Each structure stands twice: as C-alpha cells, then as structure tokens.
C-alpha cells in the first residue's frame, strides 16, 4: 500500500499545486516541498525498517496488486526490491533538491511548473515500481510529457528545439519498446495460452529462434537511448543545456537511471541468452561511450553541455557493468547510478547557480571566481573530484567495482575503459580551472552560496562522502536483488533453466509473512 501512497501523493500533490497556483504564487513550491519531504521520510522509514529486520535475504520487499483490465491480463501491480527501493529513495531525495533549486529560479506559472515536476517524479517512481509491462509502459510515457513541457516552457534560449529533440528521441524509442512488449505478450500467449502482462509470469518465456533477439532489441533501444549510449546520445546535451536547473537535475539524476533500471529489470532477466550474445557489442558501446563522452566534454565551452557529456561518459560505465553479468559489476552499477546522480546533479545545480549570477553558461566568460565564492569553489572541486573518481567519494567505489567486475568478463575492454579515468581528469580539471581559477574575468560583485544553497550542497556533499567511505548500507540493500539478477543472467542452456518460483511468481507470500 505504501507504494500506491507514494505515487498517489505525487499525482495528487501535482494537481493541488496546479489549482492553488491559480490563486497563490508562493504556495505551490511549499506544497511540492512538503509532499516530497513526506514521501522521502516514508521511504527512509520503510528502508530502515527493512534494513534492520531479521529477514535480510528477501528479494522482494513489498508489493501491491489490483486487477485492472482482466480481459487483457493487465494488472495494477507494483512491487519493489532493493534496486527499486534505492532508486525510489534517490527519486524523492533529488525531488526535494529540485524544488529547492527552483525556489527563486522559476518566476512564471509556478502552479503548472510544480505540477509538471511532481508528475515527472510520479512517472519515474512508477517506472521503478511497475511489475506489469503495460503499466510500466504507461509510466514510461507519463514521465516524458511533463518533461517536454518543463524544457519547452521554462528552458533557456533554444528550448523549443531541445524539447522537440528530446521528445522525438524518447518517443520513437519508446514506440519500439511498446512493440517489443506486445511481441513478448503474444509470444508468451502462443507458448502457454495465457495472455498476461505480468512481469513475473513473462520471466522465463521460451522463444523460437531469433525472436528473443528482436524483442530484446526493442527493449534495448528504448533503454539505451535514455541511458544514453553513443551514438544515441545527441538529444542529451541539448536537453540538458536548455532545461531549467531542476530539469537538468532530474534528467541527469533520474531519467537516465530509468534506462539502466530497464536494462536490469527487463533486458537481462527476460532475455538472458540474447543478452549474453549481445554482451561484447554492448560492452564495446560502453567503452566507446566512456572515451567519446570524455573527449567531447573536454572540448565544450558551454558549462552545461560539458557536464552533459560527462554523463555520457559515466553512463558508459553503467552499460559496461551491466553486460559483465557478475555481482561485483552489478553492485558497481548500482553505486554508479546513485553516485552519478549526486555528483552530476551537484554540477548541474552549480551551473544553474552560476547562470543566475553571471547570466551565462559560457566557460570563456568565467574565470577566477574562487576569490569571491570560495564556498562554491570548494564544492565544485569536490564534485569535480567525484566525477573523476577520486577514492573516498562514491563514484570511485562505483567505477572501481564496475571495472573490477568487467575485468573478469573482458580484460581488454576493461583496460580501454580505464582510459576514461585518465580523460576524466582532463575535463574535470579544465572545468574547475576555467570557472574558478586563473585571472578574474568580471569585475562585478558576485555573492557566494546563500543558506538555501548551502543546505542543498551540504546534503549532496554528505551523501557523496558517505557513499565513498561507508557504502555498505547501499550494497547490503541491493545485495539480494543483485544476487538474484546474477542468478537470472547466468548463462545456461535454454530449456534447462529453472526458476525459483517462490521468489519469482509470488512476492505476495513474502509480503504476507511480515
């Protein structure tokens, strides 16, 4: 029930903000903040309750199931495991920050703005919970349209182009996924006579030759466009750089993660053999992404574009790790999803703060800002270090685990991927140098962090350091889910695969046990 509640408050809160926005300018942001704080606390309480409970090995933590359209086998079925739980917590955490960073930035149509913001988050939360493929697709589309408005209405100069580009890329790839979902639906019905969109029943569907590859490609394209991997990344720099700060934060921190989540949740468990066949190519794409993104980031002069390309580079690690099919790499990917959301989110937030002050994103027009804003300078260096994978911060744990796991799967790919660690130094340090160091470019007075900004940044700094120094809670939470995934992705002969039906088909029993 907690799951429905989480989505419900977001949808309801969005509508409330929209209506209140007619009368009050300031109330919608308070509504959004309280809704998200409430949701965040709910999740943390739930997490803590689970974390300290005796039953540590349960894969599925809780679920909600309601028949929706029985004639087509569609259920309103939500369930979460450790993977979903962590991503949900991240969603609400970044949600709070996205409200805080919009506090003064958004000056028009606040009601509609916070409506969109909350509905994006509702869509994202739904994606992380839906265990019915139809419902999953529904949420997948639901997060797209408010995002389109967010970029198109509150973005900067070139916003309409960016919004179109974002929409077309994700919509076209989403369509392929819809086709694949339908294909899977009918294939399963063909073999078993049961028409169902239920994820747990679709697991272990048998395929005739070649079908699995095509269906997997449909899912895969939707997810890798979102992730993104080279060469499907070109929507991302435009969307990131034109979106308002909160938009960039959600894009980098959450929307990209839905791609990785999709690969984890659907591509690997549903099509393990086909995924294994694709693995060398996918890993290669990851390596290319790592290096290409880093090189592109180095040459950018627009701060937000630079950070956007670093995302391309970091997401290369994600795909490299996912297709390594072992627990070390999976755990690394999990860490990378969270650490990247925090570190890149922080960089986008700072880009937004700089834009508020300097009215530009152009690195050539910045320089020597340390003197006037040492606090931001310190924070920027810290997150630049996170982004280049300095040990002691979360990203290092993530990248080290991914590379360690990938090394087992493919030595040479991993060796090339480590080049990314060198290139990341080049772009990160260049960014810090151009903004904060060197001679001063402007004479006007620029103020350092305000208290609201200190609050945002302090929470991010604490999070990223915690992830780097004591990541075990995250690892332990994701542990059962990751072990389960490793089991599902194990390369076995088709036909001999046996699923532990207790885990897979009926999370309800576990929920009842509690």
- Least Å from the CB of residue 166 to other proteins: 12
CB of 390 to other proteins, least distance (A): 6
Choose, by CB under 8 A, the member of 368, 442, 487, 497 that binds other proteins. 368
Q: Is 488 one of the binding residues for other proteins (CB under 8 A)? A: no
**Residue 238 in tokens:** 């435009």
Binders of other proteins among residues 30 to 89 (CB under 8 A) are: none
Greatest Cα-to-Cα distance within the chain, rounded to the nearest angstrom = 74
Which of 182, 426, 446, 511 lies at the binding interface for other proteins (CB under 8 A)?
426
Q: Residue 213 or 372: which CB sits closer to other proteins?
A: 372
The window from 175-183, 264-272, 358-366, 474-482 that contacts other proteins (CB under 8 A) reads 474-482
Interface with other proteins, residue 437, by CB under 8 A: yes
What's the CA gap between 330 and 315, in Å, rounded? 13
Q: Does 300 bind other proteins (CB under 8 A)?
A: yes
As measured in angstroms, the least distance from the Cβ of 34 to other proteins is 30
Binders of other proteins in range 227-266 (CB under 8 A): 230-231, 233-234, 237
| Interface with other proteins (CB under 8 A), residue from 153, 404, 446, 511 | 404
Taking the complex as a whole, how short is the minimal distance between the CB of residue 464 and other proteins, in angstroms? 15
Contact assessment for residue 338 and residue 331, using Cβ atoms and an 8 Å cutoff: no
Residues 502, 510: Cα–Cα separation, whole Å: 9
CB 245 within 8 A of CB 101: yes
Residue for token pair 């509609």? 112
Q: Rounded CA gap, 20 and 24, in Å? A: 6
Please name the residues in contact with 145: beta carbons below 8 A apart, sequence gap of 6 or more: none
Token reading at 166: 């974002």
- Residue 229 in contact with residue 169, Cβ under 8 Å? no
Tokens representing residue 410 in the block: 């493919």
Instruction: Please state the closest distance from residue 439 (CB atom) to other proteins, in A.
Output: 6
Token pair of 144 as six digits: 């797209």
Closest CB to other proteins among 276 and 430? 430
CB of 230 to other proteins, least distance (A): 7
Q: Is 364 in the site for other proteins (CB under 8 A)?
A: no
Return d(Cα 225, Cα 247) in angstroms, integer: 18
Is residue 401 a contact residue for other proteins (CB under 8 A)?
yes
* Piece of the chain touching other proteins by CB under 8 A; list 47-55, 254-262, 273-281, 408-416: 408-416
Distance CA 284, CA 316 (A): 9
Q: How far is the CB of 72 from other proteins (least distance, A)?
A: 35
According to CB under 8 A, which one of 144, 250, 251, 403 is a site residue for other proteins? 403
Q: Is 415 in the site for other proteins (CB under 8 A)?
A: yes
Rounded Cα distance between 284 and 414, Å, is 10
Q: Does 216 bind other proteins (CB under 8 A)?
A: no
| Residue 416 found at the interface with other proteins (CB under 8 A) | no
Question: Which residue in 229, 224, 466, 450 sits closest to 349, CA to CA?
Answer: 450
* Cβ-based burial of 16 (10 A; exposed 0-12, middle 13-18, buried ≥19): buried
Backbone angles phi, psi at 206, to 5 degrees: -90, 145
Is 64 within 8 Å of 79 (Cβ atoms)? Answer: yes
The H or E element that residue 69 is part of is strand 60-69
Task: Write down the least CB distance from residue 74 to other proteins, Å.
Answer: 35
Query: CB under 8 A: which stretch of 77-85, 139-147, 149-157, 297-305 binds other proteins?
Result: 297-305
| The one among 67, 408, 502, 509 contacting other proteins by CB under 8 A | 408
Residue 425 interacting with other proteins (CB under 8 A)? yes
Which of 274, 385, 435, 485 touches other proteins by CB under 8 A?
385
Burial class (CB in 10 A: 0-12, 13-18, 19+), 159: buried
As given in the structure block, the two tokens for residue 291 are 């290096």
Cα distance between residue 215 and residue 185, in whole Å: 10
38 vs 368, which CB is nearer to other proteins? Answer: 368
Interaction site with other proteins (CB under 8 A): 165, 230-231, 233-234, 237, 295-296, 298-301, 327-328, 331, 368, 370, 374, 378, 381, 385, 390-392, 396-397, 400-401, 403-404, 407-408, 414-415, 418-419, 421-422, 425-426, 429-430, 433, 436-440, 469-472, 475-476, 479
């Amino acid at each position: 029930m907690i799951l429905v509640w989480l989505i419900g408050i977001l949808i309801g809160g969005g509508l409330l903000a929209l209506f209140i926005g007619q009368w009050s300018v300031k109330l919608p942001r308070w509504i959004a903040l309280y809704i998200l704080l409430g949701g965040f606390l709910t999740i943390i309480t739930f997490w803590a309750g689970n974390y300290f409970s005796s039953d540590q090995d349960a894969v599925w933590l809780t679920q909600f199931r309601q028949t929706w359209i029985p004639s087509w086998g569609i259920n309103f079925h939500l369930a979460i495991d450790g993977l979903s739980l962590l991503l949900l917590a991240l969603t609400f955490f970044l949600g709070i920050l996205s409200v805080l960073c919009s506090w003064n930035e958004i000056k028009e149509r606040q009601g509609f703005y916070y409506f969109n913001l909350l509905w994006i988050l509702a869509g994202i939360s739904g994606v992380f919970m839906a265990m019915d493929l139809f419902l999953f697709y529904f949420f997948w589309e639901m997060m797209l349209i408010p995002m389109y408005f967010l970029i198109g209405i509150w973005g900067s100069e070139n916003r309409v182009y960016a919004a179109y580009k974002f929409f077309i890329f994700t919509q076209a790839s989403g369509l392929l996924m819809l086709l694949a979902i339908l294909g899977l639906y009918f294939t399963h019905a063909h073999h078993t006579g049961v028409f169902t969109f239920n994820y747990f029943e679709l697991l272990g569907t048998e395929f005739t030759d070649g079908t699995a590859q095509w269906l997997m490609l449909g899912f895969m394209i939707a997810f890798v466009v979102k992730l993104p991997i080279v060469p499907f990344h070109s929507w991302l720099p435009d969307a990131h750089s034109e979106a308002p700060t909160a938009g960039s934060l959600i894009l980098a921190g959450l929307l990209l993660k839905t791609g990785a989540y999709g690969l984890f949740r659907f591509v690997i468990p549903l099509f393990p053999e086909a995924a294994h066949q694709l693995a060398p190519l996918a890993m290669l794409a990851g390596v290319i992404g790592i290096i290409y993104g880093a090189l592109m980031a180095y040459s950018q002069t627009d701060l937000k574009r630079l950070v956007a390309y670093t995302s391309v580079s970091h997401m290369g690690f994600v795909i490299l790790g996912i297709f390594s099919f072992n627990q070390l790499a999976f755990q690394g990917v999990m860490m990378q999803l969270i650490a990247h959301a925090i570190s890149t989110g922080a960089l986008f937030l700072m880009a937004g703060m700089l834009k508020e002050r300097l009215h530009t994103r152009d690195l050539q027009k910045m320089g020597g800002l340390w003197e006037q804003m040492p606090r931001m300078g310190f924070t920027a260096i810290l997150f630049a270090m996170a982004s280049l994978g300095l040990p002691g911060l979360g990203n290092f744990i993530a990248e080290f685990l991914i590379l360690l796991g990938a090394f087992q799967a493919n030595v040479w790919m991993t060796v090339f991927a480590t080049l990314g660690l060198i290139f990341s130094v080049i772009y990160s340090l260049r960014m810090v140098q151009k903004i904060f160091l060197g001679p001063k470019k402007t004479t006007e007075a620029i103020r350092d962090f305000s208290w609201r900004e200190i609050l945002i940044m302090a929470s991010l700094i604490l999070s990223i350091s915690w992830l780097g120094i004591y990541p075990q809670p995250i690892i332990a939470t994701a542990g059962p889910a990751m072990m389960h995934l490793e089991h599902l992705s194990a390369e076995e002969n088709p036909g001999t695969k046996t699923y532990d039906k207790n885990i897979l088909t009926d999370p309800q029993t576990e929920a009842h046990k509690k």
